Structure 1
Amino acid sequence: MRISVCIATYRRPDRLDSLLEDLAWQRKIPVEVIVVDNDAAGSARAVVERQRASNLPFELRYEVQPVQNISLTRNRTVALASGDWLAFIDDDERAPTDWLRQLSHCAARHPADGVLGPVVPVVPDKAPAWIRRGAFYDWARLPTGSEVPPNRLRFGNVLLRAAALHAVPGPFDPAYGRTGGEDGDLLTRLVQRGARVLWCDEAIVHEPVEPSRLSLRWLMLRALRGGQDFARHRQNGRYGPLGALGRVAFVLRALLQALLSAALSLLSWPLGLHHAVHWLLKLAANVGKVSVFLGWHYREYGGQAT
């Protein structure tokens, strides 16, 4: 199995440096690692050149994609990759030595076009107590070999068959390039075309939670964007057809869930701030769903909301 590891990066040279060191110690060595820098200034270039000089066990390729757009950046990694399988990992994650071997073994054991693994958050000890108790950064996990439900399809730790990627336009849609959600959009399109995407619970990567994300504001905005992603995929038929009545029902259900979440947030406040925040995030997600049908989009990756 010839695997290319694809990394889209933006102004995280220290994190990227640590990730490249992790990849050099993998038990399953990739044939190449592709780094595409979405910073027009090329802030990752020095890291890549230093790593190249360290006698890496794989080819390390680097390009700058100057237009700020995560979809275009990911598309460039796909275009540069020569492997039969492409593994995607975020530039702020850490890969244990067995990561790539576990993904590849799962793909070999189970007939699949893609394998997802868990991203385990590493919350710093200095984080507020309500954050440490709330598990707000955790991903849902599944038994190994399970098919991943469409609403849980996301990147951060995924191995995909190159032929499946090359068979779809893009493959990442540039319309999601400033808002995010390009990963779920691509994976749901692949599944609609018949691709099987399975879970491998042993293929763990770790994501140190940055200090800038240890806030209610960041969590609320991420929940809002998650709700918007879900609504956009629903609008676009990624989870099945949605007619006019279905749209009305979707909005009314989101409004009702938003009101219920607001009430439960107030009621649960005396039980602990983390309980209240849990419902506040549900509120933000449902506001995000409704906002998409009103034509508003939050741009997580730069620029103003539209």
Structure 2
Amino acid sequence: MNEKAASLTVAICTFKRPESLARLLGALWEQAYLVSSSIEIMIVDNDPNASACGLVNGIKPPVPWKLRYFVEPAPGVSYARNRCLRESNTDFIVFIDDDEIPQPDWLVSLLETQVATDAGIVCGPVIPRFESPPPNWMRKGKFFERKRFTSGTKITFKDSRSGNVLIRRDTIALAGREFDTRYGTSGAEDTLFFKRAEESGVTIFWSDKAIVYEDIPADRMKLKWLARRAFKGGQNWVRILAESNSSIWLPMAFNGIASASFSLIFIVPSLIISHIIAARLVIRFAGGLGKATAWFAARKIRNQLPVSHYIG
């Protein structure tokens, strides 16, 4: 493929994950079929102690790659992503998480889809890769697998994620110029960014060949972790919807209570039938509680309570 000298920034936000960051950088050097003369890797370290500095200083990227490193001391993934936006000036910025590994044709696949569709945003699949064998119910239930589409399919913000995404430069302004820092420690800052972009007329397309693998550590292979993710997801979803409809808080709270109550009733009986069904009900229960308590979460943010790092 000839990208006609399109300039690229591959942006990596990292926080105390040196081993996985090193693996990611090694995989990036193996990207194939790229002829652009302007390709840079940007690492934004969200650790104020610059814990990734030693690793980065010891790396000499191969031609044509360039490597840039910044420390963003403000805690929260939104601040780290915004630093990436401010420091880059290329035609495209591509986000990948520091615990992911791309296939060799990852970047070129994102670019091919962008050229074919003229998309403002291109997303690709993130496939789980377990560091140790997961419980049978988790593997069979596919709790870490996400929806996929045929390459070139137009998708909505609901199926967009920042762990594997290409963003055209002009899209940033249309999406509000930054990731909302109110979501810096809860996650979902990317969902709101993509929602704002879509509402401004930006098109989002899928590139199914642009595959990255996400390492799933043992401490995530637990129902407790999945429930916590669902709880945050429920809160964040209502907060995002309330951005454009402030009257939604109470109906969504009742919806969450109803969903949680229904799930709670059937969790124990479902254990007789299937651990997978029981796990799904626990996750639904947690998501319902999240929706029911979303207003309180938003209020804490408005009152500017102390924040901490979000590690997705």
Corresponding position of 2:28: 23
Q: 1:227: how far off?
A: 1.0
Of residues 38, 45, 48, the one that matches 1:40 is 48
Q: Does 1:302 align with 2:291?
A: no
Of residues 255, 258, 273, the one that matches 1:256 is 258
Worse overlay, 157-166 or 268-277? 268-277
RMSD (Å) for aligned C-alpha atoms:
2.1
Size of the aligned set, in residue pairs, is 297
Of residues 174, 177, 180, the one that matches 2:181 is 174
Name the CA distance, whole Å, in 1 between partners of 2:309 and 2:152: 39
Name the CA distance, whole Å, in 1 between partners of 2:26 and 2:206: 26
Name the CA distance, whole Å, in 1 between partners of 2:152 and 2:168: 16
Q: Does 1:102 align with 2:109?
A: yes
Name the CA distance, whole Å, in 2 between partners of 1:60 and 1:166: 25
Secondary structure (helix, strand or coil) at the match of 1:14 reads: helix
Question: What amino acid does structure 1 have at the position aligned with 2:260?
Answer: A
Question: What amino acid does structure 2 have at the position aligned with 1:284?
Answer: A
Corresponding position of 1:269: 271
Name the CA distance, whole Å, in 2 between partners of 1:287 and 1:189: 26
Of residues 280, 283, 302, the one that matches 2:282 is 280
Q: Does 1:2 align with 2:7?
A: yes
Can you list the C-alpha shifts for 1:19-60, whole angstroms capped at 9, x where unaligned? Answer: 0111111015461010000011111111111222x5453110
Can you list the C-alpha shifts for 1:143-201, whole angstroms capped at 9, x where unaligned? Answer: 22222233222210000001211444441111111111111111111111110011111
Please show how residues 83-232 of structure 1 align to structure 2 within 5 Å.
83-232=90-239
Worse overlay, 130-139 or 115-124? 130-139
Q: 1:100: how far off?
A: 0.5
Worse overlay, 88-97 or 75-84? 75-84
Is the contact made by 1:123 and 1:132 (CA closer than 8 Å) also made in structure 2?
no
Can you list the C-alpha shifts for 1:75-107, whole angstroms capped at 9, x where unaligned? Answer: 111111121011100000001101001100000
Question: What amino acid does structure 2 have at the position aligned with 1:144?
Answer: S
Is the contact made by 2:150 and 2:208 (CA closer than 8 Å) also made in structure 1?
yes
CA distance 1:28–1:161, change in 2 (3 Å): farther
Q: Does 1:50 align with 2:58?
A: yes
CA distance 1:134–1:172, change in 2 (3 Å): same
Q: 1:243: how far off?
A: 5.5
Q: Does 1:60 align with 2:62?
A: no
Worse overlay, 169-178 or 290-299? 290-299
Question: What amino acid does structure 1 have at the position aligned with 2:48?
Answer: A
Is the contact made by 1:151 and 1:230 (CA closer than 8 Å) also made in structure 2?
no
In structure 2, stretches of 5+ residues that fail to align are 1-5
| Percent pairwise identity | 30
Is the contact made by 2:157 and 2:204 (CA closer than 8 Å) also made in structure 1?
no
Name the CA distance, whole Å, in 1 between partners of 2:208 and 2:182: 31
Is the contact made by 1:24 and 1:57 (CA closer than 8 Å) also made in structure 2?
no
Name the CA distance, whole Å, in 2 between partners of 1:124 and 1:279: 26
